[in-house]
Amino acid sequence: MIRSVVQGCGSYLPERLVTNDELAKTMDTSDEWIQQRTGIKQRHIAADGEFTSHLAIKAAERALAHAGISGADLDLIVLATATPDETFPATATVVQKALGMTKGAAFDLQAVCAGFVYGVSVADSMIKNGLAGTALVIGAETFSRILDWNDRGTCVLFGDGAGAIVLKGEQGNGTSADRGILANALHSDGRQHDILYVDGGPSSTRTTGFLRMEGKEVFKHAVVNMAAVVGEVLAKAGLEAKDIDWLVPHQANKRIIDSTGRKLGLPPEKVVVTVDRHANTSAASIPLALDAAVKDGRIKKGDLALLEGIGGGLAWGASLIRW
Ligand code: UT7
């Protein structure tokens, strides 16, 4: 049985750091409110002229270096983003050129905050079906560009960044002891469109639009759907919550993360949290958290990592990876 095995990971954050106190100077908010409600202390914001592709390329270069391969070795790039450089072509093709990859396919995938889990699932399926051998899955966003900086209920929650992993098809035994992606689960529910969306786009308003969110409603769905999808992916792999070494959740809100960890019966030290440092970076949040925990020595070869995320759509999903 072919398994998609992680060869390396990397991430990149824009230089500019914006603290809650800095935001409180220009809007009616406070460090206390933001930390209490979300756990966020700071976020990174892309500079003028710094695009999603620039962040993605830096994260990709680090992931390739960590994997010990070059762009020419890739035959697939899946870039999860809701903030592409341009309406078309896919930002993934900009990354492809920068990495010196001249064969295979590169495309963008749009599932907002669930984008990275969707990207991992799609790349895994393509590797298993023989459509790709070595794939780069990137989550990269410049959400600062689609925030309404007059809406304190949303603009304090998000940040910019990128993260990436390299996957390669390798022969496995078909057991849960194999290294690689063991199971994926994806869902969406278009009936929930109105609780999290961007009020613009090329076909509707011909503008980029701004992010709009009913935070409390999204929160309720997140808590319920995350608990369900992590159970689903564990069952698919024939594993139990006690087998998980690391929960690597989408980083939207510390209270949602804590709730999922509690329901799985995991001690807090097994839950990777970066929302305090990065805020919500949408599709980039899971690979940013993964890279932090791999590079500081927490996630090691053979460990079982459970990735999960939910965002606009609503769209949500989970992936179970033996690192
Ligand atoms: O990544 C995609 C998935 N997204 C999520 O998972 C987000 C899920 N939702 C959340 O994380 C939370 O709902 C929020 C953090 C967005 C909001 O927390 P909340 O506890 O649901 O607060 P709320 O929206 O009900 O607002 C409570 C109060 C309101 O004031 P009143 O009406 O009670 O007087 C808001 O006006 O807090 C006020 N408020 C703020 N105050 C200071 C809203 N934003 C701010 C702010 N600073 N930035």
Among 27, 151, 219, the mutation site with the greatest number of ligand 1 atoms within 8 A of its Cβ is 219
Q: Is 140 in the pocket of ligand 1 (CB under 6 A)?
A: no
Q: Is 152 in the pocket of ligand 1 (CB under 6 A)?
A: yes
Q: Is 33 in the pocket of ligand 1 (CB under 6 A)?
A: yes
Centre of ligand 1 from the C-alpha of residue 213, in Å:
10
Ligand 1 atom 2 nearest Cα: 311
Residue written as tokens 């780069």?
136
> Residues 149, 152, 156, 162: what is their CA dihedral angle, to the nearest 10 degrees?
-50
Q: Which two tokens stand for residue 175?
A: 């057991």
Centre of ligand 1 from the C-alpha of residue 152, in Å:
9
Q: Which two tokens stand for residue 152?
A: 């304190």
Give the largest Cα separation in the chain, rounded: 57
Report pLDDT for 227: 94
Centre of ligand 1 from the C-alpha of residue 32, in Å:
13
Q: What is the Cα–Cα distance from 119 to 109, expressed in whole angstroms?
A: 7
Report pLDDT for 100: 98
Which of 8, 298, 306, 240 is closest to 134 using CA atoms? 8
Centre of ligand 1 from the C-alpha of residue 189, in Å:
23
Among 37, 226, 275, the mutation site with the greatest number of ligand 1 atoms within 8 A of its Cβ is 37
Q: What is the Cα–Cα distance from 96 to 113, expressed in whole angstroms?
A: 23
Report pLDDT for 273: 98
- Specify the CATH number of the domain 180-322: 3.40.47.10
Domain 2-171: give its CATH architecture. Answer: 3-Layer(aba) Sandwich (3.40)
Burial 162-182 (b: 16+ CB within 10 A, else e): bbbbbbbbbebeeeeebbbbb
What is the layout of strands, in order, in the sheet containing 76-80? 2-12, 160-171, 134-142, 76-80, 105-109
pTM: 0.98
Report pLDDT for 315: 98
Contact 157, 37 (CB under 8 A): no
Per run of 10 residues, the mean pLDDT along the chain (length 323 residues) is: 98 98 98 98 98 98 98 98 98 98 97 98 98 98 98 98 99 97 98 98 97 98 96 98 98 96 96 98 98 98 98 98 98
Q: In sequence order, which residues have a C-beta less than 8 Å from that of residue 130 and are 6 or more positions away?
A: none
Q: In sequence order, which residues have a C-beta less than 8 Å from that of residue 189 and are 6 or more positions away?
A: 313, 314
Report pLDDT for 59: 99
Q: Fold match between 2-171 and 180-322?
A: yes
Active-site residues, by number, are 113, 250, 280
Q: How many distinct helices (H) and strands (E) make up the chain?
A: 10, 13
Ligand 1 atom 11 nearest Cα: 253
Ligand 1 atom 35 nearest Cα: 153
Q: Is 143 in the pocket of ligand 1 (CB under 6 A)?
A: no
Among 43, 118, 216, the mutation site with the greatest number of ligand 1 atoms within 8 A of its Cβ is 216
Per-domain boundaries in the chain? 2-171, 180-322
